Structure 1
Amino acid sequence: MPDDKRVTLPDPRSRNPLVFPGGTHDPATVFLSEVIDHPNIDVGDWTYYNDRSLPDDYAETLAPYLYPGAPERLNIGRFCQIAQGVQFITATANHPMAGISTYPFAVFDRDRIGGYRDSLPRGRDTKIGHDCWIGREAMLMPGAELGCGVIVAARAVVRGKIPDFAVVAGNPARVIRMRFEPPEISKLLEIAWWYWTPEKIAKILHLIEQGDVAALTRCNEDRALE
């Protein structure tokens, strides 16, 4: 890497990490770990969300049905990129389906709402791997699981498990291509650069930004970078 320019990562504890040329911070780009305080949501460092509407409550905007203490969780990895309008529809959005009507009568009855919530089947956790890019207005349905490095096209509706480094699009979302060959995916998961120290990432960021898995592997084996 040329040594005429020092590369640094943004502070993962900053709220608005994107700095314009004039020195002002973009209010629409936030590190989610710094704006979400919800007992059912875990967000990894450096995962950002961009929303020009500047929500008052980022947890409610992204996961509107996930109430504190719900039986399921939303787990988002490190270095994810989430566009405006993305929503995680968790299992708490379900209605009862065993009766004649699916109308949630008990929701409007303070004496019965607790029992109503307990009667709903426990849904699977929603899991987002590391370094996933989720496009504008994509919707992830209850229990969706994205592997690492997944790209979700705008307005895709994702159900079930998506393999590592897949590109998905459509409703329902389908894999339209894989970003790397299987041996390269195995190597990238083994390397797991998203767990490296910020200093190590910065030193070989030029390789992370490129598509040469073999070169990144060789550089990772250089103990001088530890």
Structure 2
Amino acid sequence: MTALGFLYPGHSAEDDYPRIEQLLGSDIRLPLVHTDIGEDAHREDALLEMGSTQRLAAGVEELRLSGAEAVVWACTSGSFVYGWEGAHEQVRNLARAAGMPASSTSFAFAHAVPELDAHRVAIAATYPEDVAELFAAFLKDAGVEVVSTRASGIITAAEVGTWGEEEVLALARAGDHPEAEVVLLPDTALHTASHIPALESALSKPVLTANQVTVWEALRLADRRVNAPQLGTLFTKEPIVQA
């Protein structure tokens, strides 16, 4: 049995995690601890506070007790808002506090794109434009080419959490670009675990969503691979062997 821990901000789409656990169909548990988000706002100052060392450290003891072998900060905006170097410092601090390997959803995207042997991506974001551009800048620092960025202007995670399949598909279609090899939906407040096959079918290309890549990143930290077609191309791709 492998337990993979997640620190999830507030309450919006956390039910994606038991759904993903079910779809993995393996000896893997996904214990999740909610963090205090402070103000629910996709605004730079609020996001910096949401991802602060103190707020993240408050949840690690519960994850340790769950037997987690790795922890991922399940928040994209609350990690990339710190920039490339700051996001590295954030996960280093989390690893020290938790006493286990750590990462964040932003790094999950940065690692998942090359896993698909892809280079050019389109971002379909729920965020306001300035926040979406911060994610694009983070990916560029990771060596990913961002060919387009679409922002939806949604301020709160609570609103994003109310979106269903129709809204998620509309977001992905609107954010797609002919030159993009992969489309990214970066908000962990967005319910996507049940919609990935429909998304990839509609766009005829791989789609990476925040909660999907967050779980994949935790598996990567634990050196586990699971074939789960219902979780999209990322979960069926054979590992790239470096020459």
TM-score if structure 2 supplies the norm length? Answer: 0.26
**Structure of larger gyration radius:** 1
Higher RCO (C-alpha under 8 Å, 6+ residues apart) = 2
